[in-house]
Structure 1
């Protein structure tokens, strides 16, 4: 049996590969078409113009669906673990589920409303995505420590905590510096007064985004331990 066929580990594997491909493919197309600068574009800049905007939108919706499925599977795994050990509070587990789903749905807002067309909605969706996403991995790091040693290993718990810290630290300059960026053009000049803020915000945005990807990468070993089944029950009609 191949390792990726064990349990549900293929779910986070697909999510990590697909999400990474979403960012990289749209970036490469945008660079090839000279729609963005080679260095330090925002992630949204790489999906602002067609055809990359079409590809970015489609792949983001698939990533969102895979993300929700992975987050729900993680929720059910922790729920089952807590039924037997009572190591994780159900409220904490549900809070993580809600935060994760909100983050995934916010991705769809970001992909649907491009920053060059509906800037306010796009920025709101991006802010909601990053806030809920960072909170999700922070809460899941706490859940992992509560579940130890029944869930993940100590090394995985430390890795998740480290990723959560990096994401949280990178989130603040992403948002703060973005407030000082006044230009919405896809091509930036080094002479622009807000160029340093743009660079700092864009770099930190990429760090936060790939922190999410790395965090889901740590789910692979956990997802080898369980499967989910759908149970069908007929209701008796009165």
Structure 2
């Protein structure tokens, strides 16, 4: 486990493990309590009722904090690579950082406002999370390719591009099919006219969510080779 202590790789490792646990734990609890159907509920459905709503809110907020730290560390790392503007465009790096922060803000909104309590605010937070999250991983894929051979290997660059494309393609059916879902209850009936739209939207939502997790998984090797330091300056 000595590799875990190298650089800042503990940040993406913690983010990946914790975020995966957030989705899986709340789903299993909601399933055990018969609060959701076993076949692809929306992620937010698994955290709609207590006690899983409390666990979902807390774990999602911690994921947002871990995501903020990881995204900031990645921003500073790419900033170091962009000291030569010919390698990486600093504006592109800042734009990606902004999208990453907005995505974490969306996670905080989702964690705070439950789906069945304040639906409109919850949906706005979810949309903010997914839209800016997809844009973030797309821009990071572009940055990875432009920084090559500095930073990540070509294999990792291609993996990031593949994950970003998958998330981008899955995002649209997530949103489009959701507009055709009229039933608001947590339990679905296969005989409902909107059931196929619900399944398509929910499946794609899970794909997008785990695409984010897979993308941060590719940060581990990069984060082994750098650290961040805080410098204190006192005014005389």
Q: TM-score, normalised by structure 2?
A: 0.98
Q: Which residue does 1:155 correspond to in 2?
A: 155
Q: Which residue does 1:15 correspond to in 2?
A: 15
Q: 1:94: how far off?
A: 0.3
Whether 1:198 and 2:198 are equivalent positions in the alignment is yes
CA distance in 2, matches of 1:86, 1:18: 37
C-alpha deviations, 1:191-236, integer Å up to 9, x for none?
A: 1110000000000000000000000000000001100000000012
Q: 1:85: how far off?
A: 6.6
CA distance in 2, matches of 1:113, 1:197: 24
CA distance in 1, matches of 2:169, 2:117: 30
Q: Which residue does 1:175 correspond to in 2?
A: 175
Gaps of 5+ in 2: none
CA distance in 1, matches of 2:62, 2:124: 21
Q: 1:84: how far off?
A: 4.7
Q: Which residue does 1:210 correspond to in 2?
A: 210
Whether 1:135 and 2:135 are equivalent positions in the alignment is yes
CA distance in 1, matches of 2:85, 2:118: 48
Alignment of 1:1-238 (within 5 A): 2-84=2-84, 86-236=86-236
Gaps of 5+ in 1: none
Q: 1:86: how far off?
A: 4.0
CA distance in 2, matches of 1:28, 1:40: 12
CA distance in 1, matches of 2:188, 2:16: 30
Following superposition, which runs of at least 4 residues in structure 1 exceed 6 angstroms of deviation? none
Q: TM-score, normalised by structure 1?
A: 0.98
